Amino acid sequence: MNNQEFSLYKSAERVFAQWWIMVILMIMGGLGGWVFHFFHPSLYEAKAVITINMDFTKRQLTQFEEDAAFNASGAIITSSSVKNLVITEAQAHGYLIDLSRIQAYFYLEGMQSVWELRVRDQDPKVAADLTNIWANQAASALNIALKHAVQADQIQVQIGGLENCLAGMTGQAATTQLDCKDLSQKEILVTLQDLNNELVQEKTSSLGIIPIMAIGLTDTASVPEKPVLYGQASLVIAGAFIGLVISLWAINTLKVSHHDSKI
């Protein structure tokens, strides 16, 4: 009966004694990863850029507010409504795509005030066309949200003026920039209610975009000339690691089996 316990020292000693097995299997694993990449269909990646600027002379923001506004723009770019518009326009141009393809081959990367929109496809022209469709639809959605944000800001100013009028009528304020001498208190209250309802709608439609933002499609996609590596280095490293694991298992297993056959 074999009660031989595992010894890390003896195991390491066996591995170093037969290091050539480990090297060979690691090389074979790395070559396997490279071959997998070599026979994998080439993918081309196109890129467009949307830039988000903020005019801090109009309003001061905390870092949290700034990040929230920037992230809101990213949420619009990747929203289901924009994706559906992309699918509709792409299909009108003869590209049969769906949500699953968008999930697999459309990528969004944010860097400071810049959003990079990337699309991969086996056809470089298709990659560029789909990227530009996405970028144009995203920029349009962002600017629509910005218009609602600006409108909400203007409504807020009107509300402030009417509230000052109302306060003046009750003796709480003496001056206001808004000429409301022809308005009764009841009319002001009704107008305030309407404006507050409109304000809620405009803020909801702004989707987190704020009025001090400036949004522009600053770089459209061109047809890529070379395919992406598609994780070539990662595949080679993964293959080599698998070869290492197999070599460690083989060296120790074969050694134990050889030892058992002599008992």
Question: Phi and psi dihedrals of 89, rounded to 5?
Answer: -70, -40
pLDDT band at 114 (very low <50, low <70, confident <90, very high): very high
In this predicted structure, the answer to whether residue 140 has a pLDDT above a threshold of 70 is yes
Encode pLDDT of 141-182 as tens digits: 999 999 999 999 999 999 988 888 887 765 444 444 456 667
Chain centroid, CA 15 distance in Å: 45
- Residue spans per domain, the chain: 44-219
Of 90 and 253, the one with more pLDDT: 90
SS3 5: coil
Three-state DSSP string of 148-194: HHHHHHHHHHHHHHHHHHHHHHCCCCCCCCCCCCCCCHHHHHHHHHH
DSSP assigned state of 261: T
DSSP assigned state of 40: S
In this predicted structure, the answer to whether residue 4 has a pLDDT above a threshold of 80 is no
In this predicted structure, the answer to whether residue 20 has a pLDDT above a threshold of 50 is yes
In this predicted structure, the answer to whether residue 194 has a pLDDT above a threshold of 60 is yes
Encode pLDDT of 25-72 as tens digits: 778 777 776 666 666 677 899 999 999 999 888 888 888 989 999 999
In this predicted structure, the answer to whether residue 78 has a pLDDT above a threshold of 70 is yes
The β-bridge partners of 116 are 49, 109
CA 126 to CA 261: how far, in whole Å? 62
DSSP assigned state of 119: E
CA 121 to CA 127: how far, in whole Å? 5
Q: What is the model's pLDDT at position 152?
A: 96
Q: In what order do the strands lie in the sheet with 106-111?
A: 106-111, 114-121, 44-54, 213-219
